Structure 1
């Protein structure tokens, strides 16, 4: 045996050991996903007349859970493996793909969708986008609840759910792979449990709040799930506009804002550390953009379209928050809006919500980092060459200074994000849609927002739906994670079988 072949053999053995751990954690993730596919069956207690469609959830949920448990139990390493970020991206990528494709079966079997439509709806749900090809007026209660549940789970993230279940510390690689760089506490597993606790508490309070605001229990549960996950699936064709209620809109706005906040920021709020929250760059950006953009929408669009001052103000505020939080609820249609309104919503959808939250988009932290870097460069141009300037920002309750490598990474991400948005827009225009419509719809897809100007529908071309599927997937898992996980898999598979 040559030295090269010996090294190759040892590397193969090392990879097989690592992939046993990777597949084990993937198994746990998909087992949990299977349980959530089964979870709508609990609603049969209240809707026993839908027992005849239970098989549509039972089969895919049970099979996925069984496969996951087999992988988890048979491949669990003797000692807890600490995951690298690259290995975390492989787990996240595999788990999401399994969940999305298993999640199509209820839509095909009992929802009456074809394969492309079902993949689209499943992807939109798990990625918390909210674009839909389902006719909610004809869908069963179980299907409507299922859509809301997968948005809720997708918002929490499989990394968070898996880590809260694993005994011991599996390492930060899994949460990093889902774009959640901040931990609430040093222990990864405890941090994941705290995130789930906050998330669950918000959902419970939100459901009660919407019920008190005038919704029925079923609508309140579904809308609370969608608002906290910044998902946007609604049980009504006209979304939140169906109720045309200031109190419903007010409660929904609060839920959307909590959904788009970084979980660390939420934790600091609950701990009463208000000074740390107000120093946070994301919070400051949000506090600036909401009133400015709402004012632009009011003056440029709403005041001339809606019959009363109150309605115009409500529309301007609600549509601003639903766009920047990437929730995708709406109270009005956008067909009669002018270019000013569309432009503002597109910008907000591209910026998106907070990092480490359920929201999508480029993320407010990256925008704030670029702003701070720009301020630093402007100062350098005005100060003497010998002067030293630093760009800083507050994270958690600590002040940190930006590194050039951090600014470079953020710049590359935004550059790639805009390229994919441009390519997706080009595909939509190739199907005959106007440039404004295409820019809006693909910003909504890649930002995992869910607002629509009518491009996305059940009778949309299959190629268009698949283009949006790719955009939603890339937008939820973030570009670098998908790229690294995919390349790592393609590179390792040949070595695994040598």
Structure 2
């Protein structure tokens, strides 16, 4: 009987995955729209059509075989499996245009699409040797991945029964009671900022193509650029200011944005994440100026300009740069590595450990200090706000923080070790893998198309685990193995 129930639940799970990839080809066709203005690149867009057809056929096949009832609710455990497979298949289908176009091999293409959807920004692509449609596709991937690939694509499919998927993506910012309304609100906020960013870039002097791509990737804290020298190639202070604003907006949690949109300034001020983020930037910027920038620039203003930009880019997990990091001393690389590990706000487009967990850790330490001076039987509650919701530090939150921190640093240690084993210095290896695991995208030249296959896959897995924050992947794989074991045991008994 339990075996039959499992079959029904997995039909539901894979039916929803099929539904997702029936709609995903619409996203894959967006770069083809570029051909309306530039018909000469239509031939270069044919790989997107081929990939879209394969994706649609995959989705239809699953949908017809599984026959899912629309609106059927799913549990958090089933949501974890949907999120896991949605990302895996999404990465594979997103990689197909690069393979069909002959620009990247399978390993490189998977790396590129993973870097896109996880909003990392490390790349295998030479932006000078690839058509504009592919540059636009990379930007679309980052924009989609920043808002939560599975959430945005599934919101129109699941309806109010999608709470399990919403939580499985690691989100806490349920802005309104209805999940579908929450995802729509996130989409409205996110898209509005992107449009405003495009207009501001145009005013700053970018052409339309550069403005669209950089607005999508800056807001997604992704870092893919249409220029070989990233933002530094524009050598424009207005462009850098617009980029800093977009990076900070992208690194701020959607729940916090929602408090501002509702003019709930009291709740906004109660949130510790934005204050901590600005405090960290204010602390690290002069350190980078004094420790590194003074060796490259004589002007204090120029030192501050580049130190601030790199600090914001690293902390927000964006990966745009205005300098070359290879000549940097170890002091500067060390400081940026710390910023990349810290990351942006929870429920934002950023990676890393997240400001919410760092702030909660600080509150926990402060609470322990206060408890030391209170009577033994005294009770003390420490509140911590997320958006418009007030929470309290409790055992569950502390356990979650310890789990994520432990898994992060274990994975980080292994990844740095593997990277160093390919002959790179420990400082460069620590920097590069922190960039991959925290989905940042800054590089000291280790990540190249010519890099060893093992190194590329190590970074690919790091980006994937970092974006899904480990637990979702562990839960999904554990449930699949556990249910598979049950199914096999039942079959043997039969």
Q: TM-score, normalised by structure 1?
A: 0.95
Equivalence map 1:40-55=2 (5 Å): 40-55=31-46
Tell me what 1:252 maps to.
243
Tell me what 1:115 maps to.
106
Tell me what 2:332 maps to.
341
Determine if the alignment matches structure 1 residue 199 to structure 2 residue 190.
yes
Distance in 2 (CA, whole Å) between partners of 1:227 and 1:478 is: 21
SS state at 1:399 partner: strand
Count of residues in Structure 1 that have an aligned counterpart in Structure 2: 489
SS state at 1:278 partner: helix
Aligned mate of 2:254, from 263, 273, 287: 263
Tell me what 2:468 maps to.
477
Kindly indicate whether the alpha-carbon contact (under 8 Å) linking 2:256 and 2:388 is maintained by their aligned counterparts in 1: no
Determine if the alignment matches structure 1 residue 299 to structure 2 residue 290.
yes
Kindly indicate whether the alpha-carbon contact (under 8 Å) linking 2:71 and 2:157 is maintained by their aligned counterparts in 1: no
**CA distance change for structure 1 residues 380 and 40 in 2, over 3 Å: closer, same or farther?**
same
Kindly indicate whether the alpha-carbon contact (under 8 Å) linking 1:179 and 1:355 is maintained by their aligned counterparts in 2: no
1:27-84 CA distance string (max 9 Å, x none): 2222333322222111111221112122211111121123224433553533632221
Distance in 2 (CA, whole Å) between partners of 1:166 and 1:368 is: 35
Equivalence map 1:63-74=2 (5 Å): 63-72=54-63
Tell me what 1:164 maps to.
155
Aligned mate of 2:443, from 444, 452, 458: 452
SS state at 1:465 partner: helix
Aligned mate of 1:80, from 71, 80, 102: 71
Determine if the alignment matches structure 1 residue 327 to structure 2 residue 322.
no
Tell me what 1:290 maps to.
281
Determine if the alignment matches structure 1 residue 232 to structure 2 residue 223.
yes
Determine if the alignment matches structure 1 residue 218 to structure 2 residue 209.
yes
Kindly indicate whether the alpha-carbon contact (under 8 Å) linking 2:70 and 2:157 is maintained by their aligned counterparts in 1: no
Distance in 1 (CA, whole Å) between partners of 2:67 and 2:194 is: 33
1:328-385 CA distance string (max 9 Å, x none): 1111111222222111111111111111111111111111111111111222223332
1:167 Cα offset (Å): 5.9
Tell me what 2:132 maps to.
141
Q: Which moved more, 1:134-143 or 1:281-290?
A: 281-290
Determine if the alignment matches structure 1 residue 24 to structure 2 residue 29.
no
1:494 Cα offset (Å): 4.9
Tell me what 2:390 maps to.
399
Kindly indicate whether the alpha-carbon contact (under 8 Å) linking 1:180 and 1:357 is maintained by their aligned counterparts in 2: no
1:425 Cα offset (Å): 0.1
SS state at 1:166 partner: helix
SS state at 2:160 partner: coil
Distance in 2 (CA, whole Å) between partners of 1:496 and 1:145 is: 44
Distance in 2 (CA, whole Å) between partners of 1:254 and 1:456 is: 28
Tell me what 2:417 maps to.
426
Aligned mate of 1:463, from 454, 469, 473: 454
Distance in 2 (CA, whole Å) between partners of 1:106 and 1:171 is: 30
Distance in 2 (CA, whole Å) between partners of 1:203 and 1:62 is: 29
Distance in 1 (CA, whole Å) between partners of 2:410 and 2:281 is: 26
Distance in 1 (CA, whole Å) between partners of 2:162 and 2:225 is: 36
Distance in 1 (CA, whole Å) between partners of 2:265 and 2:297 is: 37
SS state at 1:410 partner: helix
SS state at 1:162 partner: helix
Distance in 1 (CA, whole Å) between partners of 2:68 and 2:24 is: 21
Q: Which moved more, 1:418-427 or 1:111-120?
A: 111-120
Determine if the alignment matches structure 1 residue 62 to structure 2 residue 77.
no
Distance in 1 (CA, whole Å) between partners of 2:325 and 2:466 is: 23
Kindly indicate whether the alpha-carbon contact (under 8 Å) linking 2:344 and 2:355 is maintained by their aligned counterparts in 1: yes
Distance in 2 (CA, whole Å) between partners of 1:34 and 1:92 is: 18
Distance in 2 (CA, whole Å) between partners of 1:320 and 1:33 is: 35
1:460 Cα offset (Å): 0.8
Determine if the alignment matches structure 1 residue 150 to structure 2 residue 141.
yes
Tell me what 2:302 maps to.
311
Q: Which moved more, 1:375-384 or 1:466-475?
A: 375-384
Tell me what 1:361 maps to.
352
1:237 Cα offset (Å): 0.7
